[in-house]
Chain A
Amino acid sequence: DAGVIQSPRHEVTEMGQEVTLRCKPISGHNSLFWYRQTMMRGLELLIYFNNNVPIDDSGMPEDRFSAKMPNASFSTLKIQPSEPRDSAVYFCASTLAGEETQYFGPGTRLLVL
């Protein structure tokens, strides 16, 4: 079975540009999570969805960040405009409600110059 798929794996962009990160959860999973990992702050939950509905977005840093889940098999995390401090690895994870174990994608390494 395919795991969680994230694209792109690496992204280098300039400050002020829009960045869109993509995630395809494991088929059948109905919860999806976006995390950010930095050396300073470790792994932080940004937002999570249940059945395509955002449940908790309190971790989203500011209005420049937005996330959508238009259907059960796709989610995006958008940063507009991007800033150098957004440089991090962004992970997507999915789970089946009731199973409790989150399965992580390989991450997108973002560098904002």
Chain B
Amino acid sequence: AQSVTQPDIHITVSEGASLELRCNYSYGATPYLFWYVQSPGQGLQLLLKYFSGDTLVQGIKGFEAEFKRSQSSFNLRKPSVHWSDAAEYFCAVGNYGGSQGNLIFGKGTKLSVKP
């Protein structure tokens, strides 16, 4: 069965420090992978996505993620965290083709940023 695991429920980093949020997936075929961010009281906003090609993808707000097939991972990184990055981050996997379109989401990682 398809699944997404985000091992860290809550992470706290200092402003200016680097960040890595982990995501592991279980999927039978080549997955489509996404990272979304949710600020308090808001909907989910797409940060970046991977479909094929270069395994290092760049997203908005200075985020990047690397697809590693051998590790079934799609970790999100940012070299220097800003206080405004405090939010909850969701990794998702999808399979597309024809009429299918549903995403499987991880449980999320809440990021807190210390001044």
Interface residues of A (CB under 8 A from B): 4, 31, 33, 42-43, 45, 48, 50, 55-56, 91, 93, 95, 97, 100-107
Task: Name B's A-contacting residues (CB within 8 A).
Answer: 32, 34, 36, 42-46, 49, 51, 90, 94, 96, 99-108
Is the Cβ of B96 less than 8 Å from the Cβ of A91?
A: no
B34 partner, pick from A45, A101, A105, beta carbons under 8 A: A101
- Chain A residues contacting B34 (CB-CB under 8 Å) are 101
Q: In the complex, what distance in Å separates the CA atom of A105 from the CA atom of B44?
A: 8
Task: Please classify the interface of chain B as helix (H, G, I), strand (E, B), loop, or mixed, using the class held by over half of its residues.
Answer: strand
Contact A101 B105 (CB under 8 A): no
Given A100-B32, A100-B96, A48:B43 Cβ within 8 A: no
Contact residue among B44, B45, B101 (Cβ-Cβ distance under 8 Å from A100):
B101
Give bound CA distance, A107 to B41, whole Å.
8
In the complex, the answer to whether A43 meets B90 with C-beta atoms within 8 Å is yes
Contacts of B101 in A (CB 8 A): 31, 33, 48, 50, 55, 95, 97, 100, 102
Find chain A residues with CB under 8 A from B107 CB: 42
Considering residues A42, A50, A56, A95, which has the most beta carbons from chain B within 10 angstroms of its beta carbon? A42
A100 lies within 8 A of B105 (CB): no
User: 7 A–B contact pairs at CB < 8 A?
Assistant: A42-B105, A43-B108, A45-B104, A100-B101, A101-B34, A105-B43, A107-B43
- Report the separation of the CA atoms of residues A56 and B36 in the bound assembly, to the nearest whole angstrom: 23
CA distance A56 to B102 in the complex (A): 9
Determine the residue in chain B with the shortest Cβ distance to A92: B43
Q: Say yes or no: A45-B103 contact (C-beta < 8 A), given A100-B51, A101-B34.
A: yes
B34 to chain A, nearest CB (A): 7
Minimum CB–CB distance from A22 to chain B (whole Å) comes to 15
- Cα A102 to Cα B102 in complex, Å, equals 9
